[in-house]
Amino acid sequence: MLAAILLANTAQARTPRSHAVLQKFVQHQACPGTGLHRLPCPGYQIDHKVPLKCHGDDAPHNLQWLTTQAHKDKTRREARHCIWK
């Protein structure tokens, strides 16, 4: 299941994401919607605090849960300020 969710999210991404990093994040940070340490997490998405396209790390310390709408809004704002690596 994790692989299907990640593939859907990374299909549009230009910088590859690590499945292991996302799994480690979920192991340590429970889904805010369910309180469980697994995906799916209804209504939430995993976001890079500092986007990869802005040279952020693909590491658990740079990940956070955001609501789906907050993630969309943040991504839209970031698209104007960063260029892809």
| Mean per-residue pLDDT, 30-58 | 96
DSSP state of 47: E
Average pLDDT, the chain: 85
Tell me if residue 56 falls in helix, strand or coil: coil
Please report the pLDDT score of residue 73 as a whole number: 95
Say what the pLDDT of residue 53 is: 87
Domain residue spans in the chain?
2-79
Report pTM.
Answer: 0.77
| pLDDT reported for residue 50 | 95
The whole-number pLDDT of residue 8 equals 42
